[in-house]
C-alpha cells in the first residue's frame, strides 16, 4: 500500500466521520427539542435548543470535512487547479461556518 492510498483512505474516513457527526447531531438536536417540549418549557425554548444544537453539529461536521479536503489535496498531485478547487471549497465551508456561528 502506497502513501497516497493510505491518505486517501484517511480522507474518506474523515468524510464519513463528518457526515456521521452531522447526522447524530441532528438526532440529538431533535431529541433535546422534544425533551424541552415535554418538560413544558414552550415551543420557543425547544426551537432555540434544536437550532443551537443542530448548528453546532453542522459546524463540527463542516470542520471535519475541511480537514478531509485538506488531507485529500495535500496527498494528490499538486497543481494550480487542485489548489484553486481546495481554496473554493474551504471558502464556501468557511462562509457557511461563519454564518451558522452568527445565527447560533
- pLDDT score at 70: 83
The DSSP line for 33-86 is HHHHHHTT--HHHHHHHHHHHHHHHHHHHHHHHHHHHHHHHHHSPP-HHHHHHH
Residue whose entry in the numeric block shows the C-alpha cell 463528518 = 18
- pTM as predicted: 0.79
Residue 94 Cα to chain centre, angstroms: 11
State how far the Cα of 34 lies from the Cα of 87, in Å rounded to an integer: 39
Residue 67 Cα to chain centre, angstroms: 10
* Grid coordinates of 101: 456561528
- pLDDT score at 33: 93
Q: Per-residue confidence of the chain (104 residues) as pLDDT tens digits?
A: 787 788 889 999 999 999 999 999 999 999 999 999 999 888 899 999 999 999 999 999 988 988 888 888 777 777 788 778 878 888 888 888 888 888 77
- pLDDT score at 4: 77
- pLDDT score at 103: 77
State how far the Cα of 45 lies from the Cα of 101, in Å rounded to an integer: 19
* Of the candidates 12, 102, 24, 27, the residue with the CA atom closest to the CA atom of residue 60: 24
Amino acid at each position: 500500500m502506497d502513501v497516497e492510498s493510505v491518505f486517501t483512505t484517511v480522507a474518506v474516513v474523515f468524510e464519513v466521520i463528518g457526515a456521521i457527526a452531522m447526522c447524530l447531531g441532528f438526532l440529538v438536536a431533535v431529541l433535546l427539542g422534544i425533551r424541552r417540549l415535554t418538560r413544558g418549557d414552550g415551543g420557543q425554548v425547544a426551537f432555540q435548543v434544536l437550532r443551537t444544537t443542530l448548528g453546532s453539529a453542522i459546524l463540527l461536521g463542516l470542520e471535519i470535512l475541511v480537514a478531509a479536503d485538506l488531507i485529500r489535496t495535500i496527498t494528490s498531485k499538486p497543481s494550480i487547479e487542485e489548489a484553486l478547487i481546495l481554496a473554493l471549497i474551504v471558502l464556501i465551508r468557511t462562509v457557511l461556518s461563519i454564518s451558522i456561528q452568527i445565527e447560533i
